[in-house]
Amino acid sequence: MILIVDSGSTKCDWIAVDKNGNQVLEKMRTKGLNPQILTEKKLKKTIKKNKDLKENRHIVTHVFFYGAGCGTARGKELVGGVLREVFDNAEITVEEDTMAAVYSTINSDDEAAVVCILGTGSNCSYYDGKQLRQDVVSLGYIIMDDASGNYFGRQLIRDYYFNQMPEGIKVAFASKYNLDADYIKYNIYKQPNPNAYLATFAEFMFLNKDSEYARELIKKGIRVFAKNMIMQYKEELKTVPVHFAGSIAFFSQNEIKEVAKEMGFTVGNFERRPIEGLVAYHVKSLKNNPLNA
Same domain, 70 and 25: yes
Same domain, 86 and 125: no
Distances (CA, A) of 42 to 55, 78, 108: 19, 12, 37
Same domain as 131, residue 48: no
Question: What residues have CB less than 8 Å from 21, skipping those under 6 apart?
Answer: 279, 282, 283, 284, 286, 287
Average pLDDT of the segment spanning 81-108: 92
129 domain residue, yes or no? yes
DSSP string computed for 216-227: HHHHHHHHHHHH
Cβ(232)–Cβ(135) below 8 Å: yes
Q: Percent of the chain beyond pLDDT 70?
A: 98
Same domain, 251 and 134: yes
Tell me, yes or no, whether 245 lies in a domain.
Answer: yes
- With 50 as the cut, is the pLDDT of residue 198 above it? yes
Residue 153 belongs to a domain: yes
Q: Would you state the pLDDT for residue 293?
A: 46
Domain co-membership, 129 together with 20: no
Structure confidence at residue 211 (pLDDT): 96
Identify the band that residue 126 occupies on the pLDDT scale cut at 50, 70 and 90. very high
Give the pLDDT confidence of 142-181 residue by residue, as tens digits: 899 999 999 999 999 999 999 999 999 999 999 999 999 9
Residue 51 lies in a domain: yes
pLDDT exceeds cutoff 60 at 291: no
Domain harbouring 198, CATH code: 3.30.420.40
Separate counts of helices (H) and strands (E) for the chain: 13, 10
CB 67, CB 28: distance < 8 Å? no
Establish if 293 belongs to a structural domain. no
221-277 pLDDT, tens per residue? 999 999 999 999 999 999 999 999 999 999 999 999 999 999 999 999 999 988 878
- One domain for residues 89 and 174: no
51 and 141 fall within a common domain: no
CA distance 179 to 170: 11
Q: Per the structure, how many domains does the chain have?
A: 2
At residue 109, the pLDDT reads: 82
Q: Within this chain, do residues 148 and 239 fall inside the same structural domain, yes or no?
A: yes
Please indicate, yes or no, whether residues 224 and 267 belong to a single structural domain of this protein: yes
Residue 145 domain boundaries: 107-271
Q: Identify whether 53 is part of a domain.
A: yes
C-alpha closest to that of 3 among 48, 81, 56, 40: 56
